[in-house]
Structure 1
Amino acid sequence: MLSLSDVTAARDRIEDVARRTPLDYSHTFSEMTGAEVYLKLENFQRTGAFKIRGAMNCIATLSEEQKAAGVVTASAGNHAQGVALAATRAGVNSKIVMPEHAPISKVKATERYGGETVLHGADYDEAQAKAHEIERAEDRTYVHAFDDPSVMAGQGTIGLEIVEDCPELDTVVVPIGGGGLIAGIATAVKARNPDVRVVGVQSDGASSAADSLQKGAIYELDSVDTIADGIATRRVGETPFEVIREHVDEVVTVSDKEIAVTLTYLLERSKTLVEGAGAVALAALLFEAFDYEEGETVVPLLSGGNIDLNQLTTVVMRGLVETGRYLKIRTVLKDRPGALQELVSVLADTRANIYAIQHDRTSRNISMNEADVELDLETRGHDHVEELLAALRERGYEVDVLA
């Protein structure tokens, strides 16, 4: 079992490379939840995520022969960047296998840090199988993303920082993919203060750890489906799972909708950019996936900020829809002069802002004397949406809500 001494030794090895990231009190989220909320901003870490900690500690423990032969790993993106930078800093050649659909921003960043990238497979597990082929063929050392004690110890240095910077800590909330992050943090936190509660969070589309705990043994999912690509693993690691069973108090799940809303809140209210996996811990708090007391001191870990800009646009738009800030509707008008103006006047009376209008007379789904109209609208919340829809229907419009 991983020990506190493993984690403290890791801190000494990585301190010249990994940053001590801020612990920031959030007035906004404290007011929203009633808890005392401190955000652990690991999205400010070098490479934009916590993974540099475990990768650096693992590579620092290799023999000279292993370093000379080089390393290989598989990653959805953040571990890739951590291994690439850590290996380059240590003068070690690195080869990283990433899923074919990995965000291009993470692929390019990995290459800029000095790693050679290989795109293979539909998800992390298929990329991992390819990486093990390279390991055997080229006699490289495999640097596991989570199922490795040295990697877990490196991630556990986050727990040391949280306990030291927040002595009043009651609960720490940590994302779970393969489990290496929470295993390291839980080991450090429980050793320093056994009374602190450790809550793990997964996406409900990649809930291997939660399912495994329920079944009492590691359970592998057939597939994963989540916007939180950094924790989209089909199987929790064997070594982390044992630590999770020993030290983690509870594992909960959140939906992609809740992740998107949380990511949007962080951008708008805290001016903080995270990726999907980086938002799940706060999402669990905001949407009450676990119970907590009024005034309880809670630290959600924002584990990374490496979101692809194309995905960011989609996620933010989804967040705006879910919070009633964006509305897409369809209706049918009589194809006559002034019909569109009448519709727009109703929207103006309700103070909706029009982003875009699509006006189509050629649709096969309408009569020859009608026009199909889709509108993208900026709204001010769910009450405003209901007011707007009621006003349109009161004036006789049949409205379909598209988003």
Structure 2
Amino acid sequence: MLTGYVERILKARVYDVAIETPLDIMPRLSKRLQNNILLKREDLQPVFSFKLRGAYNRMTHLSESEKLQGVVAASAGNHAQGVALAASRMGLSALIVMPKTTPPIKVEAVRSLGAEIVLHGNSYDDAFAYAQKIVEQQKRTFIHPYDDPEVIAGQGTIAMEIMRQHPQPVEAIFVPVGGGGLLAGIAAYIKAFWPQIKIIAVEPADAASLKAALDAQERVTLDQVGLFADGTAVRQVGVEPFRIARETVDEVILVDSDEICAAIMDIFDDTRSIAEPSGALAVAGAKKYIAEHGCVGADLVVIDSGANINFDRLRHVAERAEIGERREVLFAATIDERPGSFQQFCKVLGDRGITEFNYRYADETEARVFVGVKLDGSDEERQALFNSLDNAGYQWVDFTDNEMAKLHVRYMVGGHAAGASDERLFRFEFPERPGALLRFLTRIGKRWNISLFHYRNHGAAYGRVLVGIQVPAAFDDEFQLFLDGLGYSYQDETDNRAYDLFLR
């Protein structure tokens, strides 16, 4: 059956709208992982994803009467743009059904390509069902995003390009999976000619419909899927993609959101482009494959499937990338509530970079701090950090893999502290360099008690700290001399309204 797909792929018409994208080495990641990581840049397509290949190829097979009736599609993103662009180039009427929850930026992107848009329901399934009604009412042809042989063939042209660009067989090709059309097209072409090349499917751990289907040996419908990698958030793999996958896929790798964020950072470091979460799946999968299989010096192809990421997601990506790379650890620790305890705690952490430090006064005996520390990514350094805390007698809890702690608790450390008498609140800025936070605490010393502390490293040139310090009125002059002698820029926030409402 694969030979039939090879013929479809060879005949596929995609280059009226698509470009042959480059296959670029990722120099930094390749050096770090000691393998040759080759990035297929489908993010460079006119609609910033591979989807227009399959959509256009399918639409070139429409009959004349079907062309007159127009097409309809259900999509919240990349497929919608692919269909809209293809219809524009072919002079066809296109109606795209999108969930009401679709971000405005994606709605406008589709509208700008000339398609008619209907917003319906709150999920893809709602939009799909409504699109089927339109098929019946208006006799339009439905363009499926992945479960169609001509769509699969269009996506398969990527494999044809890869083997032309890299004539020597690679060890493995890593492909992101949602409904499975991209995987099916690439796998069918590759396995027909080079069966020794491994096809590795990569799915989000919270949307692993292919893995569930292969395990059950039949298609299953997931109860729910995570939405971070929205381009691959599909509850059930397609019929035809699943049939092909059963014949061709060598391994399925699951990656979590933190690992995806780390992969987005890897792609940015090597290309200065920003992949969408689904677009970075293959890189995340390749990193996991290398770690698990211990391969060195191998040629590995990863598909960057798209770059349609909402700008407001970048904050979350940046926040979680270091954790996904295992280069940041988050933990809570209990320290004594007394002047100088922060300084002593930081000495135990040593020269490691502190990325976050949250604390709010609770009582006169113990203080609990929420801390982030930079690591080199090795399990050995991670264990050494916790061993040093044990040796110093601190109680601690690792929160690095605690989703609630990472999403919510870290931002909720605080609250009112009625017992923090004579508290004054200050914002400080100091040059951001290794050891800067410890030097700051050393200068404060043990003269006054710190009752609130918030610090977060954002990669800027200056460290920014919010500090509550208990200073009785009798020490005002001495404290002012201390502030002036610090040499750091500061702002007195004691009268700030937000302090009154949430912290005082």
Under TM normalisation by the shorter chain, which class is it?
Answer: 0.7 to 0.9
Please give the per-residue CA displacement for 1:186-208, whole angstroms capped at 9, x wherever unaligned.
01111221111110000011100
**Aligned in 2, Cα 1:71/1:170: closer, same or farther, shift over 3 Å?**
same
**Aligned in 2, Cα 1:387/1:63: closer, same or farther, shift over 3 Å?**
farther
CA offset at residue 365 of structure 1? 4.4
- 1:259 equivalent in alignment to 2:260: yes
Please give the per-residue CA displacement for 1:242-299, whole angstroms capped at 9, x wherever unaligned.
0000111111110001001111222234312210000000001123376362111100
Secondary structure of the corresponding residue to residue 164 of structure 2: helix
**Aligned in 2, Cα 1:33/1:391: closer, same or farther, shift over 3 Å?**
farther
Match of 2:313 in 1: 311
Secondary structure of the corresponding residue to residue 62 of structure 1: coil
Match of 2:478 in 1: none
Match of 1:299 in 2: 301
Match of 1:243 in 2: 244
Match of 2:134 in 1: 134
Q: Aligned partners of 1:292, 1:301: CA distance in 2, in Å?
A: 21
- 1:364 equivalent in alignment to 2:402: no
Can you give the 5+ residue segments of structure 2 that lack an aligned partner in the other structure? 363-413, 458-504
The within-5 A match list for 1:218-233 is 218-233=219-234
**Aligned-residue identity in percent:** 36
Please give the per-residue CA displacement for 1:8-63, whole angstroms capped at 9, x wherever unaligned.
111xx222221000000122111122221111011011200000100000000000
- 2:357/2:455 contact within 8 Å kept: no
**Aligned in 2, Cα 1:119/1:25: closer, same or farther, shift over 3 Å?**
same
Match of 1:212 in 2: 213
- 2:73/2:142 contact within 8 Å kept: yes
Q: Aligned partners of 1:298, 1:378: CA distance in 2, in Å?
A: 41
**Aligned in 2, Cα 1:197/1:321: closer, same or farther, shift over 3 Å?**
closer
The within-5 A match list for 1:82-231 is 82-168=82-168, 169-231=170-232
Q: Aligned partners of 1:117, 1:144: CA distance in 2, in Å?
A: 16
Relative CO higher for 1 or 2, CA cutoff 8 Å, sep ≥ 6? 1
Q: Aligned partners of 1:80, 1:178: CA distance in 2, in Å?
A: 15
**Aligned in 2, Cα 1:318/1:194: closer, same or farther, shift over 3 Å?**
same
- 2:48/2:306 contact within 8 Å kept: yes
Q: Aligned partners of 1:286, 1:17: CA distance in 2, in Å?
A: 32
- 2:258/2:323 contact within 8 Å kept: no
Secondary structure of the corresponding residue to residue 14 of structure 1: coil
CA offset at residue 119 of structure 1? 2.3
Please give the per-residue CA displacement for 1:378-403, whole angstroms capped at 9, x wherever unaligned.
9889xx89989x999x9897989999
Secondary structure of the corresponding residue to residue 20 of structure 2: coil
CA offset at residue 129 of structure 1? 1.4
Q: Aligned partners of 1:19, 1:172: CA distance in 2, in Å?
A: 20
- 1:328/1:402 contact within 8 Å kept: no
Secondary structure of the corresponding residue to residue 287 of structure 1: helix
**Aligned in 2, Cα 1:34/1:53: closer, same or farther, shift over 3 Å?**
same
Q: Aligned partners of 1:59, 1:186: CA distance in 2, in Å?
A: 22
Secondary structure of the corresponding residue to residue 3 of structure 1: helix
The within-5 A match list for 1:33-112 is 33-112=33-112
Structure number with bigger Rg: 2
CA offset at residue 75 of structure 1? 1.3
**Aligned in 2, Cα 1:355/1:248: closer, same or farther, shift over 3 Å?**
closer
- 1:30 equivalent in alignment to 2:30: yes
**Aligned in 2, Cα 1:320/1:145: closer, same or farther, shift over 3 Å?**
same
Secondary structure of the corresponding residue to residue 284 of structure 2: helix
Q: Aligned partners of 1:386, 1:293: CA distance in 2, in Å?
A: 40
Q: Aligned partners of 1:186, 1:309: CA distance in 2, in Å?
A: 33
Please give the per-residue CA displacement for 1:166-198, whole angstroms capped at 9, x wherever unaligned.
122221000000000000010111122111111
**Aligned in 2, Cα 1:297/1:66: closer, same or farther, shift over 3 Å?**
same
**Aligned in 2, Cα 1:154/1:391: closer, same or farther, shift over 3 Å?**
farther
Secondary structure of the corresponding residue to residue 127 of structure 2: helix
- 2:55/2:154 contact within 8 Å kept: yes
- 1:70/1:140 contact within 8 Å kept: yes
- 1:262/1:282 contact within 8 Å kept: yes
Secondary structure of the corresponding residue to residue 121 of structure 1: coil
**Aligned in 2, Cα 1:49/1:378: closer, same or farther, shift over 3 Å?**
farther
Q: Aligned partners of 1:233, 1:102: CA distance in 2, in Å?
A: 15
Q: Which moved more, 1:188-197 or 1:357-366?
A: 357-366
Q: Aligned partners of 1:238, 1:282: CA distance in 2, in Å?
A: 26
Number of residue pairs aligned between Structure 1 and Structure 2: 389
- 2:173/2:302 contact within 8 Å kept: yes
**Aligned in 2, Cα 1:246/1:358: closer, same or farther, shift over 3 Å?**
same
**Aligned in 2, Cα 1:46/1:35: closer, same or farther, shift over 3 Å?**
same
Please give the per-residue CA displacement for 1:302-329, whole angstroms capped at 9, x wherever unaligned.
0001111111232222224555579899
Q: Aligned partners of 1:226, 1:375: CA distance in 2, in Å?
A: 38
**Aligned in 2, Cα 1:380/1:248: closer, same or farther, shift over 3 Å?**
farther
Secondary structure of the corresponding residue to residue 146 of structure 1: coil
CA offset at residue 372 of structure 1? 8.3
**Aligned in 2, Cα 1:182/1:330: closer, same or farther, shift over 3 Å?**
same
- 2:146/2:182 contact within 8 Å kept: yes
Q: Aligned partners of 2:120, 2:436: CA distance in 1, in Å?
A: 44
Root-mean-square deviation (CA), in Å? Answer: 4.1
Q: Aligned partners of 2:155, 2:429: CA distance in 1, in Å?
A: 44
Match of 2:6 in 1: 4
